[in-house]
Structure 1
Amino acid sequence: MLRSPVLLLLSLVSFVCTAVALFNDDAFVIDWHKPAIGSLTPSRLLLSPTSLTALSDSAILAAIDPLSGDFLWRHSLTHSAIAQDAVLTRLDDSSVLVAAASPTDPAITHIAVFVELNGGLLWESNLAIGAPISVTVGSRDAFVLASDGVLVRLRHLSGRLSWQYQLPTGYSPVAASYVESLSAIAIVVRSQQSGLGYITVDINSGESTSDFIRLDTLPAAVGVTVVSSDLLAWTLPAAPDSIKLGSLFDGSSKGVISASKSYSSYELSAHGNTLTATFVSSDGKSGWVQVYKLNPSLELIKTSEVSATASIYASSGSDELFEFQDATFGGFSLSDPLVRLFGPTDVEDLPSLSSIEFVKCSSSACLVGDIYSEYTYVNSTGKVWARDESTVGATASLFVDLEEEGEESAIGDVLFEEHASPVEAYVHRLSRHIRALNDLPAYLVSFVKRFISGNYDAAPETYSGSVTIGDTFGFRKLIILATPRGGLRALDTANGGARVWKVDNVLSGEPIVGLALEDRGAAGKSIKVIGSFGKVATVSVTGTVVEISKLDRLGLGDKIEKIVSLPPAGEDEQETLAVWTAHGEFLVVGTEPSKPLFLSKVVDNTVKGYIYEKGSVTETYTFSLPTANYKISSVSARDPKDVSVSIGRVLGDRSVLYKYLNPHLLAVTAVDPSTSSAAVFLLDSASGRLLYSGFHDGEVVDTDAGVKVVMGENWVVYSYWSEKVARGEKLVVLDLYESDIKDERWSKSLGNFSSFVNTPAPYVQSQAYLFPNHITTLAVTRSRFGITNRDIIAALDTNMIVELPKRLLDARRPVNRDPSNEEKEEGLMRYEPLIIDDRRSVISHVRQVIGTQVVECAPALLESTVLVFSHGVDLFFTRVTPSQPFDVLSKSFNKGQLVTTILALGVGVRLVGPMVRRKQIKARWGSS
C-alpha cells in the first residue's frame, strides 16, 4: 500500500506514460493522398450492376468499387494512349479492352486488354492502321475499326491478328457492330455519292458479304451510336433535336425520336424489348431531363420530364432506369403508380439538374456527372457515393496561413489599449485577464492531454466551428486549388485533405489563370482569383465571393497569360500583384508600386527584360539563345520569400566563401532537338547580363522531356535525361560564390548591390550526378526563417516523390579521394556520381502518386518543418524536416521519465535540505 501522496503521483504518471509510450509511424499520419483519374466521358465508361470501369480524359484507366467509390486499380496510359482518340469496351465478362491512338504516332493504334477485377495486363498490340474509331466484340474476339478504313480481327486470348479487311475507296469509316444473326461485322460508312450506310464483312473469312446498304441519303450524319447489335442511331445537322434509327439487319428505317426542346446530350439504351432515350440539358443555371420509353416498333410507352430545381435521385431496378427527386413533391418514377420513397429533405447534396452533364445507367444503378467534374453514383437505395475529380489538372494552387486560436480578438484588444487612455487601457486589460481566467481550467486540461500524448500539432477543438483557426505549430493550412472548369476547392491539410468549401463558376465561365493572397487589413486575408479575360474576384478564406471586378486596361481581344507577384517595394507596402497579357501588356492589380519594378519574360524563344514605372512598361534588353535550333525549356528565379540567414559558407579552416546572393538571378535552360543537346544560362534579369553558360553536347538528351530547373539562395540544380555515357537522369548543381578566394567579398566594398554596376562574374562550382529514375518535376523546400537546410523535392515517372538533401548534391565534394578533416567538418563526403535509389528518401512511401505536375513547398511555424504539396492528377501532402525536428520533441520522447526525474529531484532536495542546513549550523558553531 502506498503511504505517500508523492509516491502515488509518481505511480500514476508512470502508468499513464507507459500507456502512451508507443506511437504510429509518421507515414500515413502526417501525410495524405487523394487518388484521382479526371473528367469522365460516357462513351468511355462501362457501367454494370457489379462493376464500373472508365478511361478518363487524362488517359487513366481505372476500376471503381460500386459499393464504396474507391479505386480497385488504376493504370496511367499517358505514354501509350491519347484519351480523346480511344475506345473502351468489354471483351468478355472478366476483361476490358482499350484501343487508342499512340501519343508518339497517331497513325498507330495501341490495343491492350486488362483483367477487370485486378487490372492485370493480359495482352497488348500495336497496329499501324490509323486511330481507332470503333471496337466491337463477336465470337469472343475483338474487331477494331480504324481511321484508315481498316477492320482487323484479334484473338481474345492472345491478341494475334486473324485477318485484316480494307474498305473500298470512297467510303469513310464511322462505326462497327457485330450482327450475330448474320455472323458478320457491319461497318457503318459515309459516302458523298451514296450517303450513310453499311457494308457487312464475314467474321470467319474477313471477306465482304454485301455491297453498300443505304441507311440515309445524307452522308453528313453526326453522333452515330450503335445502340444494340442491330440498331443504329444518328442525328443530322439540319435537325439536331431528332434522333434517327436504322436496322443493321436489313437496312430498314426504324423511325425518329424527337425531343421537345434542344438538349445538350442524350443516352440510348436497350433493355430486352424496351428502348429508353434520355435527353439531358443544363447550362449551370437551369436544366431538365426528358425520358422516353419505346417498344420494338418505336411506339411511345411512357414519357416524363423533370426540370428546374429537381435532382437525379435513384435507379429503380431492372425494370426502370431511374427515378427523380424534386424539392416540391418528392420522388417519382416512369412506372405507375407514382412512387415516393423519400421526402423533400432528402434531396440535399444530390446533383442539381442545372449542372448535370450526363446520366449513364445500368439496369440497377446510374452514374450522374455534372459540368464541374463531380460524379454521383445512385441506386435504388439512394445516393451511394460521390467523387470530386475537379482538381485534376488544377490551373493554380495557393497555401493560406490560418490564424492562431484567439489571434483576431487578441489583436483587437491590443489595438484598443494602444489608442485608449491609460485608465481605460488598464481597466480593459484587467477585465481581459479576468475573462481569461474562465478558460484556465479548460486550458490546463488541454495542456495535460497534449503533454501526455505529445500531440501538439493537432487542430484546436474549435476547428469544427471555424475554418480559419490553425494549430500550434502551423501545420494546418488551407490549400486553394483552381479547377480547370473555373471553380475553387479549399482543402484542409490537417484533416486528410478534406474539402472545407467549394465555389463553382467563380468568374461566370471564365478560366482561372492564377491565385494570389491579399492582406485586407482589418477585413482579414482574402484570395484574388484572376481570369484569362480580365475578371478579378475577391474570395474570403471562408469561401465567400466578396466582389468581382474587371481590369479596365485590358485591350480588346487581349487575354491574360500569367500573373506575377513581386515583393513589396517599400516597408509600408504590400506585395505587388500584376499580370502579363498575350499582347505584352503589364497591368498592376490593385495599388501601384512606389518604386520601379524590373521584370523579365520569355517572348518568342528569347528572354526580354522590362522596367515598369509610373504605369508604363519599357523594354530594356533581349537575350537570344546561341543558335536558332535551341528552344527554351524552362526558366527559374529565386523565390522572393526565401530568406538567407548567412552571407557565406564557413569552411573547415574557419575561412569563408561568400555566397553570390543576387535577387535578380535567373536560370534559363534550353534544348537543341537537332543535336539532342542541352544548355543552361544564368542571367541578371534586371540588366540582361550573361553571368554563366554551360553546354551539354554529345549526351543524347531527351529533348521531348526537356530540362527541369530549380534555384535556391546561391545555387541552381537542373536535370535532364541522357542516353549516352551512363544512361539515366543527370542532376547538375551550380554553386555560386562571389570569389574563389577565401574571405574575399567584393560586394561589401560596393555597398548596396546593383545589377547595373560592372561587378565581377560569380565564381561557379559545378558537379554532375546520375539518378536512375526519370525526374518529371523539381522543387526546393523553404523554411520560415531560412535556418533549416534546403532540400530538393523531385517527382519521378515511377509515381513516387523523393527528397534529395542539397548537401548530397554539393559541388565541393572531393573527387577520387576521401575528405580531409577540415572537409569533414563542413559535412562533405567523397564524391560518388551515382545517387542510389534509396527507398528511405521516398516521402510518398508506398503510395502511387500519379501524374504529378506541380510540387509546392510552404513553411510551418516550426523552423524545422516544411509542408510539401503536389498536384496534377493525384493530390499528395506531407511534412518534411530537412535538418531533423530540432525545435520539437519527438513523440517517442520519454516524458514520464522526465517528470519522474524532476519529482524525484524535488523530493531529494526536500529531504536533503534540512540535513545540509543542520550541517552548516554545526560547522559555524564549531568555528566560532
Structure 2
Amino acid sequence: MKSSFVILYLACFLTTVFGDVQKSFENYWQIDQIGKTNTLIPTSFNDNTFVTSISELGIISLINASSGEIQFRYRPETAVDPDSAFLVSVTDNILASSFNFIGKQDNEQESKLIIWEIVDSQLFIVEEIPIFNDKIIGLTSSQNKLILVTSSGKIARFNGDFKPQWHSIPNETGLKFENCKFGSSIINEPILILESSSDSSVFYYSSISSDFKIMPLQSIGCNFESITDLQSNSVICNDKIYTFRNEKYGLSKKLSGQQTVLSKDNKYYSIIDSRTVLSSSGQSDEFDHDINTIQELASDKLVIVGKNFTFYNSEILSNPIVSFENPVIQDFLNEQVEFFIPFLSNGNFIIITANKDSTIKCIDSTGLLWVRDESLSDIVDYAVSNVKEDAIGAVFEEIEREAHSNIFTAYINRVKRNFNTLINYRNQNEKEEYDLNFGFNKLLLVLTGNGKVVALDTKNQSSTTKQVSWILNTNLGNSVLNKIYSVKDHGELSRETIYLTSYNNDVYMVSSSYDSLSLLSEQEKSTVFATITNPEGDEKLVLKHFNMHYITKSNETDTQNPHSFYIMQESLDKKSLEGSIINSDSTELKTWKYEVDTSSESILKVATREYNNDEVASTGVVLGNRKVLYKYLVPNLAAVAVYNHDNRDIKIQLINMITGAIYQTIKVNDIKHEGNLEDFQLVYCENFIIGSVYGTNGDVSSSKVFVIDLFESLTPDVRQSVKDKKIISSLNEDILPDVSIQTFFIYERIVNMAVTKTRYNITSKLAIIQFENGQILGLPKFILNSRRVTEDRELNADEKNEFQMLKYDPNIIFNDQLLLAFERTRLPIPDSSSFKNFLVPISTGLESTSLICGLGVDTFCIPIRPSGSFDVMSGSFNKPVLLSTMIALVFAIFIVKPMVNNKKVKDAWQFTY
C-alpha cells in the first residue's frame, strides 16, 4: 500500500513539472536582415509609404516606412561587389538596380541590370539585362529615362521599352574606368565625371558636346571621392562650389562654406558658420541654434538639421513649414550618419537615416518611429555561453547545505522550504516559464564586422527585440575585432567571462553588466591567453583553457588542462601544418611539421572532432547477429583533405595533431574536385568523416557526398585497444583503423555542413547540410552509412535485424520533412562573398534535443530531435485526464481496502457443515 502511494506521488509530480514542456519545441526563430544599405528610395502608393533599399550584399528590399518591417527581399544568385550595388527610381512605380558579380571569368556574366515594378507592396521583375565582359560603374535616371555606364566607357540609354541604345565615350586610348558620378545639364542630359582605373585620374564628359576632358582636380586639392554633388556646370568638392570655364573646362571657385547643397536648378545653399545659411540669391539667414547639415527635399523644399529637423520652402528660410525634435542629433554630431533621406508621406514629413554602424532609423514629428540594426548580416565570429540557472543553483546549494548540517538544522530548513513553497503556490508563472523553456539555457554570442557584440537568446522570444538579450557596441570600428570567447571562470555553476581579441592581438574583457569593455594589460592577458607564432612568423593569441587546438579561421577543439597544451596550425598558403606544445610558462616549442607537394597539392580543409572519448556514449556498432564493430576512437586526430591540382584528385589523411604521425591515407573513388575550392565541405565526428564536393557530370550538377567510417577492425568483435589492457593515447598510439567508404549524390549545391551535438551524445546523429538557396537539411547518419548493402540482393536475416540498416542507393532524394527551414525564406551569405556563413550545432539541457543555428544574412535557430522527444511528455499528453484518473484510483483504493478486509474477516468466520 505504501509503495502504491509513492508511485502515485511521483507520477503526479512529474506530470505537473514536465507535462507541458512540449511547447518548448516550437522554439524556432529567425531574424531577417538585408545588410548595410547603400541606397534608400521612398515610394508612396495606395496611401502607404515604402522604402526600397539596396544593400552592400546586393539585396533589394521593400520596407514598410511605418513599421520598419520587411515586405519583400531579393538576393542575387551569387556574391556581388559591395561598391557596385546601385538603385535608382525611374518613375513612380518603376525602379532599376544593378550590381557586379565577384569572381566571374571571361565570357561569363559580370553584371546585371534589373528593372522592377512595385505592385501591391511587392516588387516584380520586369526585365533582366545581363552584361558580359564589362562592369557597370554608374546608374541614373533623367526625365523617366534610365542611363547606364560601364567600365569600358559605354553608355546605354533605356526608353519605356527598356531596350538599350548604346554609344561610347570618345576614348581613343582605351581607358578603363573604376567609378562614375552623374550631374544634370541645363537640358537634363547628364554629364559624367569618371575615375580612371589605372592612375585615379578624373575625367569630365558631356554628352551634349561629346567633350571628353581630364579635370584638373589636383590643382584645387580635390579628388574623385571628395566630389559630393554635381549639377549643370558646377561641382561641389570639399564643401566648395566650383564652376566649369567653357574654354578649357578648368574650374574656378564660386563659394566656400560647410555642408553645401547644390540644387537641381543650380541654386546653392551653404552653411557659412554654425548658425548662418547663405543662398545663391544672396540671402543670409541666421538661426538661434547650431546647424549640422542642410539637404534638399525637392526642388522647392529644404531640410535643415540641428537640434530639430526643420523644413522650409527653398525661397523663404525665415518661415519654416514644420519643425520637430531631432532624437538622433548625437548621430549627426558624431558623424555617424552616412546619408539621410527626407520625404513626405501623406502630408507628414519623415526622415530616414543610414548610419555607419549599419542601423537604419526612421523619425517623424512624434519621435523615433523604428530602428533596424543590420549588423547581424556581417558576423565574423561566434561563441556559445551557458546561462546560470538559479533554480538548478538553488538545488545544489540546498544539497551542499544539508550535507553539512546536523539533523535538527536540516529539519528546520526543510520545514522553512516547504512553508515557502505553500506560500508561493499561487505564483506559478515564473516556474511555468522555467518548465516550458527547460534546457534552453544558452546564449548565442555573435561578433559583427562593425564591432558589436550581440547576445541572442536561443529560446524563441516572439520578436526580434526580445530575441536580443543584450547588445554592446564596442565603438572600435570596422575590421578591428576578430574573435570572441566565452570562458567559464570557476566551477560548474559560475558565470562565464566574455573576451574579445583584435587583429593586432589586443584582448578586451566584457564587463559583468555587458555594457562596457576593458583592455587587458599584458600581465592580465597572459593569464588567459598565450602568444604563439604562426607558420608565417606572425604572432597569434590562443586561449590557455584548452589543451588541444586546431588554429585556422574559426575551428577549435578543446579539453581541460591547466598546465600545458598542444596546438596545430595551418599555413596561409595551404601548403603545410605545424604542431607545437605550449608549456605552463607560455613558451612555445615546435614539435612537427606536415607539408604537401608544393608544386601540385594544397590543403582543402582540415576537420577535427568536436569532443573527446569521455563524451562518446557508445564505443561500438551492434550488428544484427549481436556482434559488435568497435569504433576507432583515437583522440586528437584530424582529417586533412589534400587536393591535387594536376589530376584533381582528393585524398583524406588522418593526422595525429600531437605527434604529427599520419595514421591513414584514404583515396575516395570517383571524387574529383571540378568546381570552386570553397565548395568542398568536411566534418569529422566520433568515428566518421563526411565530405562533399560540387560538380557537373554532363548536364547534371550535384554534390557528391562521401562518408568514411573508421573502425578498429571490420571483423566483428575484434578490438585492438583492449589487448594487454592497452589504453588509447594520442602520444604513442600504433593502432591503425580499418576503413569503410561509400559515396552518395545530392542534387543541390552544398555550402556548409555540421553534425548535431547533444548533452551526452546518446541521441542519434544528424548530418546538417546547408544548401546554396538557404535551406537546411537534417539527414540521419544511418542514411549516410558506408556499410549499406551494395550487392544486388535482398537483406539477409542478420542485416534486417541490424538497427537502421538499408540497401545502398547512391541518389539521396530527401523528403521535405527533413528540411529544417523549408517553411520560411532564409538568406545565406552568397558563395565567394567576403562575408561569412556559419552553421552552429548547440547542445541543450535535454539529451533528446539539439539546436541548429544558421548565421548568414539571416540568423536562424531551430531545435531538432533526431531520436524523438524521449525525455519529455508529448504535446498530446492530457494532464487533467491523467490526474483525474489517478485521484479516482486513490479514492477507489480507500473505498475498496475496507471492503476487502471485511470480506477476509467474513471468509475466516465461515465454516462448512
2:443 counterpart residue number: 478
CA distance in 1, matches of 2:774, 2:187: 48
Structure 2 vs 1, CA of residues 540 and 858 (structure 1 numbering), >3 Å: closer, same or farther? Answer: farther
2:9 counterpart residue number: none
CA distance in 1, matches of 2:752, 2:298: 48
Do 1:633 and 1:706's aligned partners in 2 also have CA atoms closer than 8 Å?
no
The one-letter amino acid paired with 1:64 is I
Do 2:234 and 2:243's aligned partners in 1 also have CA atoms closer than 8 Å?
yes
Q: Secondary structure at the match of 2:33?
A: coil
- Alpha-carbon offset, residue 481 of structure 1: 1.1
1:802 counterpart residue number: 777
Greater mean alpha carbon deviation, residues 767-776 or residues 756-765: 756-765
Q: Secondary structure at the match of 2:783?
A: helix
Which residue, out of 728, 732, 736, partners 1:761?
736
- Alpha-carbon offset, residue 864 of structure 1: 0.4
- Alpha-carbon offset, residue 488 of structure 1: 0.9
Q: Secondary structure at the match of 2:683?
A: strand
CA distance in 2, matches of 1:630, 1:94: 54
Structure 2 vs 1, CA of residues 355 and 556 (structure 1 numbering), >3 Å: closer, same or farther? Answer: farther
Which string of whole-angstrom CA distances, capped at 9 and with x for unpartnered residues, describes residues 252-303 of structure 1? 968555456xxxxx68463777645689xxxxxxxxx969755445765567
2:818 counterpart residue number: 841
Greater mean alpha carbon deviation, residues 910-919 or residues 791-800: 910-919
User: Could you tell me the TM-score, scaled by structure 2's length?
Assistant: 0.81
The one-letter amino acid paired with 2:420 is N
The answer to whether the aligner puts 1:774 opposite 2:749 as a matched pair is: yes
Q: How is 1:399-478 mapped onto 2 (pairs within 5 angstroms)?
A: 399-408=384-393, 422=405, 427=409, 430-431=412-413, 433-434=415-416, 437-443=419-425, 446=428, 458-459=433-434, 473-478=438-443
The answer to whether the aligner puts 1:88 opposite 2:81 as a matched pair is: no
1:11 counterpart residue number: none
Which string of whole-angstrom CA distances, capped at 9 and with x for unpartnered residues, describes residues 639-665 of structure 1? 136821111111111111110012212
Structure 2 vs 1, CA of residues 271 and 603 (structure 1 numbering), >3 Å: closer, same or farther? Answer: closer
- Alpha-carbon offset, residue 603 of structure 1: 5.3
CA distance in 2, matches of 1:111, 1:24: 49
CA distance in 2, matches of 1:533, 1:644: 38
Instruction: Count the aligned residue pairs.
Output: 844
The answer to whether the aligner puts 1:533 opposite 2:504 as a matched pair is: yes
Do 1:172 and 1:189's aligned partners in 2 also have CA atoms closer than 8 Å?
no
The answer to whether the aligner puts 1:791 opposite 2:766 as a matched pair is: yes
The answer to whether the aligner puts 1:101 opposite 2:111 as a matched pair is: no
CA distance in 1, matches of 2:382, 2:522: 22
- Alpha-carbon offset, residue 234 of structure 1: 4.1
- Alpha-carbon offset, residue 502 of structure 1: 1.6
Which residue, out of 454, 469, 494, partners 1:489?
454
Do 1:611 and 1:618's aligned partners in 2 also have CA atoms closer than 8 Å?
yes
CA distance in 2, matches of 1:194, 1:647: 64
**Percent of aligned pairs with the same amino acid:** 21
Structure 2 vs 1, CA of residues 35 and 183 (structure 1 numbering), >3 Å: closer, same or farther? Answer: closer
- Alpha-carbon offset, residue 215 of structure 1: 8.3
The answer to whether the aligner puts 1:608 opposite 2:608 as a matched pair is: no
- Alpha-carbon offset, residue 538 of structure 1: 2.3
Structure 2 vs 1, CA of residues 603 and 836 (structure 1 numbering), >3 Å: closer, same or farther? Answer: same
User: Could you tell me the TM-score, scaled by structure 1's length?
Assistant: 0.80
1:124 counterpart residue number: 128
The one-letter amino acid paired with 2:795 is P
CA distance in 1, matches of 2:286, 2:793: 86
Which string of whole-angstrom CA distances, capped at 9 and with x for unpartnered residues, describes residues 371-395 of structure 1? 3222211123321210111122211
Structure 2 vs 1, CA of residues 185 and 275 (structure 1 numbering), >3 Å: closer, same or farther? Answer: closer
1:284 counterpart residue number: none
CA distance in 1, matches of 2:295, 2:20: 47
- Alpha-carbon offset, residue 367 of structure 1: 2.2
Which residue, out of 373, 376, 379, partners 2:364?
379
- Alpha-carbon offset, residue 169 of structure 1: 3.4
- Alpha-carbon offset, residue 799 of structure 1: 1.5
Q: Compare relative contact order (CA 8 Å, sep 6+) and give the higher one, 1 or 2.
A: 2
- Alpha-carbon offset, residue 831 of structure 1: 1.4
CA distance in 2, matches of 1:297, 1:865: 72
2:40 counterpart residue number: 45
CA distance in 2, matches of 1:190, 1:769: 51
The answer to whether the aligner puts 1:710 opposite 2:683 as a matched pair is: yes
Structure 2 runs not aligned, ≥5 long: 1-14, 344-348, 830-836
The answer to whether the aligner puts 1:369 opposite 2:373 as a matched pair is: no
CA distance in 1, matches of 2:501, 2:841: 22
The one-letter amino acid paired with 1:517 is S
The one-letter amino acid paired with 2:444 is I
Q: What is the CA RMSD across the aligned residues, in angstroms? A: 4.5
The one-letter amino acid paired with 1:891 is G
Which string of whole-angstrom CA distances, capped at 9 and with x for unpartnered residues, describes residues 184-234 of structure 1? 4423357999996633336xxxxx655759786849632365746636534
2:153 counterpart residue number: 149
- Alpha-carbon offset, residue 170 of structure 1: 8.1
1:570 counterpart residue number: none
Which residue, out of 491, 499, 502, partners 2:468?
499
1:354 counterpart residue number: 334
- Alpha-carbon offset, residue 83 of structure 1: 2.2
Greater mean alpha carbon deviation, residues 850-859 or residues 183-192: 183-192
Q: How is 1:572-721 mapped onto 2 (pairs within 5 angstroms)?
A: 575=546, 593-597=562-566, 599-602=568-571, 604=573, 605-614=575-584, 615-626=586-597, 628-640=599-611, 643-690=615-662, 691-695=664-668, 699=672, 701-721=674-694
The one-letter amino acid paired with 1:94 is N
The answer to whether the aligner puts 1:875 opposite 2:845 as a matched pair is: no
Which residue, out of 729, 742, 748, partners 2:716?
742
The one-letter amino acid paired with 2:682 is V
Structure 1 runs not aligned, ≥5 long: 1-16, 203-207, 261-265, 280-288, 451-455, 461-470, 567-573
2:30 counterpart residue number: 33
Structure 2 vs 1, CA of residues 915 and 561 (structure 1 numbering), >3 Å: closer, same or farther? Answer: farther
- Alpha-carbon offset, residue 764 of structure 1: 1.0
- Alpha-carbon offset, residue 736 of structure 1: 0.6
Q: Secondary structure at the match of 1:723?
A: strand
- Alpha-carbon offset, residue 505 of structure 1: 1.7
CA distance in 1, matches of 2:704, 2:142: 50
- Alpha-carbon offset, residue 360 of structure 1: 1.4
Do 2:35 and 2:57's aligned partners in 1 also have CA atoms closer than 8 Å?
yes
Structure 2 vs 1, CA of residues 672 and 225 (structure 1 numbering), >3 Å: closer, same or farther? Answer: farther
The one-letter amino acid paired with 1:766 is I
1:188 counterpart residue number: 193
Which string of whole-angstrom CA distances, capped at 9 and with x for unpartnered residues, describes residues 154-182 of structure 1? 45534444544543438776646475754
Do 2:231 and 2:262's aligned partners in 1 also have CA atoms closer than 8 Å?
no
- Alpha-carbon offset, residue 715 of structure 1: 0.5
CA distance in 2, matches of 1:243, 1:544: 44
CA distance in 2, matches of 1:536, 1:716: 35
- Alpha-carbon offset, residue 562 of structure 1: 6.6
Q: How is 1:716-735 mapped onto 2 (pairs within 5 angstroms)?
A: 716-724=689-697, 727-735=701-709
The one-letter amino acid paired with 1:188 is I
Structure 2 vs 1, CA of residues 172 and 245 (structure 1 numbering), >3 Å: closer, same or farther? Answer: farther
Which string of whole-angstrom CA distances, capped at 9 and with x for unpartnered residues, describes residues 543-598 of structure 1? 144743044686999998876557xxxxxxx646989799xxxx999x98324535
- Alpha-carbon offset, residue 319 of structure 1: 3.8
Structure 2 vs 1, CA of residues 408 and 660 (structure 1 numbering), >3 Å: closer, same or farther? Answer: same
Do 2:756 and 2:765's aligned partners in 1 also have CA atoms closer than 8 Å?
yes
Which string of whole-angstrom CA distances, capped at 9 and with x for unpartnered residues, describes residues 444-468 of structure 1? 6628x98xxxxx6x448xxxxxxxx
Greater mean alpha carbon deviation, residues 839-848 or residues 514-523: 514-523
- Alpha-carbon offset, residue 714 of structure 1: 0.8
Do 2:184 and 2:264's aligned partners in 1 also have CA atoms closer than 8 Å?
no
- Alpha-carbon offset, residue 149 of structure 1: 2.1
